[in-house]
Amino acid sequence: MSFGWEIRARVQFEGDAHVMEDACGFNGPNAWVIDGASQLLEPIGMPAASDPQWLAQALSMFLAGPCLDPARTGVRARLASALACVDAAATPLVGAERVRFPSAAISVAQLNADGVEVASLADCTVLVRTDDGATHLVRAAAADAAVDAAADRAMDGPVDPAERRRLLVHDREQRNLPGRLWVARREPEAADHAHVVQLGRPELMVMATDGAWRAVDLGLVSGPEEFLARTGTTLGALALMHELRCRQAEIGEVSDDAAVLALAPARTPRSLP
């Protein structure tokens, strides 16, 4: 049997501070959401409106394509293949540059005979309502958690913006090293560090970047179950994202890119010839 997804909603809102650096999509049994990391280091000049935009678009394209090693199966292999393709495409453009290379949070989901397998690097959120009615949340780690913890330890009182930026830059330079945060960049081995969860048969799945999840942080929805319910249709997702943008404007918050992708398994799996 082969497995595939049917779309329920796909909504993307560009943020205030930069061009769209989120991406999402699905093909066959695979689905993904990508959140390009805001650029802090000196740009390296990828052929796009920004370096993170190039990475998000390249990853989305390679995730939609064939796996480099058809003998390997599973969501980890799918992610490793896409990252290896990014590395190959980047080499003629920027050589071996890694530290300044753009990075992204990513979640990839893959349907299989047991249900759906999800792999995540950093802080995209995947919500899955399984056939038994339970709602599951999958997320690897908050991208700036180490920075926030270090800032709390270093400062007595409000964190100085310049000090926070220094910590963010240092953290970005240390990514994809042993003991540090692993993200989607150009190292295929990052897939070995992904947070992987196998869930049962999904009834509905919603994948979201942290810019969209801000609706939960700001209390526009009560939590995962309500977010899933509100974003399971195009009209619902559009309404919630519009409500989010209005709330952010009210409080003077600079909005981040937001992407929401809602999918359900295709009703009739196709038999392979």
3-state secondary structure the chain: CECCEEEEEEEEECCCCCCCCEEEEEECCEEEEEEECCCCCCCCCCCCCCHHHHHHHHHHHHHHCCCCCCCCCCHHHHHHHHHHHHHHHHHHHHCCCCCCCCCEEEEEEEEECCEEEEEEECCCEEEEEECCCCEEEECCCCCCHHHHHHHHHHCCCCCCHHHHHHHHHHHHHCCCCCCCCCCECCCHHHHHHCEEEEECCEEEEEEECHHHHHHHHCCCCCCHHHHHHHCCCHHHHHHHHHHHHHHHHHHCCCCCCEEEEEEEECCCCECCC
Question: Under a CB-based contact definition with an 8 Å cutoff, are residues 33 and 106 in contact?
Answer: yes
pLDDT at 37: 92
How far is residue 51's CA from residue 236's CA, in Å, rounded to a whole number?
32
pLDDT of residue 69: 84
CA distances to 86, 169, 249, 251 from 80, in Å: 10, 26, 39, 40
Domains observed in the chain = 5-140+181-265 (3.60.40.10), 144-175 (no CATH)
What integer pLDDT is reported at residue 41 of this predicted model?
Answer: 86
- pLDDT of 99 reads 93
Write down the pLDDT at residue 183. Answer: 96
Task: Record the pTM.
Answer: 0.91
The Cβ-side half-sphere exposure at 118, using a 13 Å CA radius, reads: 25
CB-side neighbour CA atoms (13 Å) of 3: 17
Q: By the 8 A CB rule, do 29 and 87 touch? A: no
36 and 55 in contact (C-beta within 8 Å)? yes
Kindly give, in sequence order, each residue whose CB lies less than 8 Å from that of residue 90, ignoring residues fewer than 6 positions away.
46, 101, 186
Q: What is the pLDDT of residue 75?
A: 97
**How much is the pLDDT for 195?**
97
pLDDT at 268: 66
Q: What's the chain's length in residues? A: 273
Residue 77 pLDDT = 97
The ranges of the chain with pLDDT < 70 are 1, 143-159, 268-273
